[in-house]
Chain A
């Protein structure tokens, strides 16, 4: 029963967290990008745009609140993880559908601007040749503590290898009661270290994406945008490093539990399973709302004069405002158009290889576990 309460606490945190972040997502990007559509800077205060934003907020509330209440009432008393997971997935799908809908509406509004701004035909971008000069990311060396934890925990397990029983638990409920077992194989014993290592590689990949992805300074105040973008990258690279550390630590603790090296109390295990996901969830939401996409919400003061720039219309490359497809662009990682962070350029052949690897990974682990 305690375990069910723990799941429900995490579950409701996710529902509320998603509800908050999905509400904010369309407003986290630069003010010239509305619902994933780039509009001319002189149109950002346009009445139609303001109207559409209000319309979105009302629609979001009118759809999401009844949905959440209805789903909770319908699933009340059913502690099936599958049903709860389905509820979360459905919530995300509804939010995505709303974005796509408003992305489409915004495109119609944007096309109505066209006739007005014909006089100065220019489709340009700014780049700063010094954008990557100096410190704009935390040092990559901060991944070393995570690596040390992986190696150290593997060593501790290796030293206690003989004491590990011949049947080990591989899955626990929230309070730490074993629910699934496996015979003692090297793979089962070191599984958490293997997962940690793969996760570390993934975090390092995100770090690399933060470092290399396209600079976002094309605006009437490029210096300001540059400073915002650089701070944004600094903050999120730091967050990725911390996340990697927390995750590695968590898996190391789990591995000690699996291999029965340390016997954790139920309350400790419960706290771990409830506190970690909630802290990470709300930490991420807090950072996302604080920084905005590419640092658009970070306060920066520059005394630069305004430079008029008609930013190149890249809307055609953003399918549904969500997926970037531009085979001419050598970028693999690209700042998201809606939401926070980076996405793939699906016009780049490597993006599909990466996608396949990410999807296949869990299955590979499952298969390896069977042999």
Chain B
């Protein structure tokens, strides 16, 4: 999978990495059991501090997306193990800034939900 890192983006680099790995797993660009580069190798390839990559990887590990072995390296976790229904509880607080911003900008509820649906559909389309 090709990752893009933007050095002048408002989104911190570790978050860019984290988001893209999650996206990659959702869209099936990263398969379960697939190996990712080591912290050092990824930091070398991007040309950034190793802590930045380490931070992204440790968040992804804590959230169940990755398994980090000392020996076999960084591996995408089983999709069944990534599943975690309790995430539903976090959604309101995660979505609130986006929904309120959309409201202020004059986006209707229907339009907003349509956009959400489009994203869900594009993920599901890739699966079949």
Contact = CB atoms under 8 A, between A and B. Distances in A.
Interface of A: 121-133, 212-215, 217, 222-223, 309, 312, 314, 326, 328-331
A121 B8 CA distance: 8
User: Which range contains the number of B residues in contact with the other chain?
Assistant: 20 to 34
Contacts of B36: 129
A125 B46 contact: yes
A314 B30 contact: no
A90 B91 CA distance: 68
Given A124-B4, A126-B4, A309-B4, A330 B45 contact: no
Interface of B: 1-9, 30, 34-37, 40-50
Contacts, number: 70
A128 B44 contact: no
B5 A125 contact: yes
A122 B49 CA distance: 20
Interface of B is mostly: mixed
Contacts of A331: 44, 47
Given A132-B41, A214-B47, A328-B47, 18 more contacts: A121-B8, A123-B8, A124-B6, A125-B4, A125-B5, A125-B46, A126-B2, A126-B3, A127-B5, A127-B37, A127-B45, A128-B3, A129-B30, A129-B36, A131-B37, A223-B2, A330-B40, A330-B44
Candidate in A127, A128, A214 with the most chain B CB atoms within 10 angstroms:
A127
A129 B66 CA distance: 14
A137 to B, nearest CB: 14
A84 B36 CA distance: 52
A330 B49 contact: yes
Nearest to B37: A129
Given A127-B3, A212-B44, A328 B8 contact: no
A217 B42 CA distance: 13
Closest 9 CB pairs of A and B: A124-B6, A329-B47, A123-B7, A127-B45, A331-B44, A123-B8, A330-B43, A215-B45, A129-B1
Contacts of B42: 127, 129
A304 to B, nearest CB: 10
Given A127-B45, A215-B45, A330 B50 contact: yes
A35 B33 CA distance: 43
A212 B41 contact: yes
